[in-house]
Amino acid sequence: MAIPQVEPQYYDAQLAAKCDAVTRLFAGFDTPPLEIHDSPPSHYRQRCEFRLWHEDNDVFYAMFEVEDVAPSESDSGRKKKSTVRLDQYPVASEAINALMPKLREAFLASDVLRRKLFQVEFLTTLSGESLVTLVYHRPLDADWEQEARALEQALGIMIIGRSRKQRLVLTRDHVWERLHVNGKAFVYQQVENSFTQPNARVCEKMLGWAQDVTAGSQKRDLVELYCGNGNFTIALADNFRRVLATEISRTSVASAQINLQANDVDNAHVARMSAEDFALALKGEKHGRRVAEMALEGYDFSTVLVDPPRAGLDNASCAQISGYERIVYISCNPETLAQNLALLTRTHRIERFALFDQFPFTDHCECGVLLIRHAE
């Protein structure tokens, strides 16, 4: 894996190359013009993690470059891993870059904070909060807590200490993010070590696009699979009569429920359930307390939103969502999106198609697709 080389002067060219690649990948589909949503060309990631490298009396942040080594007669090829020192990281938010040298100075000045410190994880927000997790290969004691609390106060941040079977939360285990979408502000609790969209500015654009493609749906309902902490749920609630969202992660479900309350959303319900179990519940083949709490008989679903992991949807899930009139598919992997669209376009046409440049200067991008069921 290569560390992104951020060169803002070439941003437009790298985005154009991504658009060309996506256009070629989906050339076999009848797609409308690609809607392009760019990113800030630098300092776009609100969360990052680094190894802390110890070398003699020095410590520094590090990442690893992994490259293939040409095979020789004696082997079939191998990976070469090299350590790259990072004093600044232009991929990361300005808040992370400001904290990096200050934390390093604190580690150099304190054996208690530095000793067997293995990894440093940053979670920052557009709203100005910073949470830093320090991961150790040793138990954390009262001396560590005293110095870590002093560091919190000195830098105006929050700190969590982690080691084997130990997690010390000094202030709180989350930050509050504020995203602005189409003139409205939404607040989100983002919990340490849980998934959140890393590029907040592009996330705002994704939410705005999703609002736009689902506008005018207030008389019917939305079902959302893989809802995470309610990122889309909250932004789309006003577009529908009711929303039913499902998520398998216990932490994400708890955070989503807090976020619904924080944004005064009263027409959405988040259920802890896998997409597979939810499909069975819809067929009447799964029962129990969680199914009963959903009260499925009261919904009139017109639209399904899916935001699956990189593996995309399996064939059974594609068959399930093809029963809805409209499908909003958010994809973090265009390759598996193309595979899924080969199935979904048997029943639906592609009405809108967007590219979101979540990860500049890498090969990765996210796509959004609105599909409308063919008239019978």
User: What residues are labeled active site?
Assistant: 332, 366
Give CA–CA dist 159/49, Å, rounded: 14
**DSSP helix, strand, coil percent of the chain (3-state; round to 5):** 35, 35, 35
Q: What residues form DSSP beta bridges with 190? A: 175
Backbone angles phi, psi at 42, to 5 degrees: -155, 165
Q: Which amino acid is at 216?
A: G
DSSP assignment, residue 74?
T
CB contact set of 191 (below 8 Å; sequence gap of 6+):
173, 174, 229, 251, 252, 255
| CB 161, CB 170: distance < 8 Å | yes
Give CA–CA dist 55/325, Å, rounded: 59
| CB 18, CB 334: distance < 8 Å | no
The 3-state secondary structure of 79-107, one letter per residue: EEEEEEEECCCCCECHHHHHHHHHHHHHH
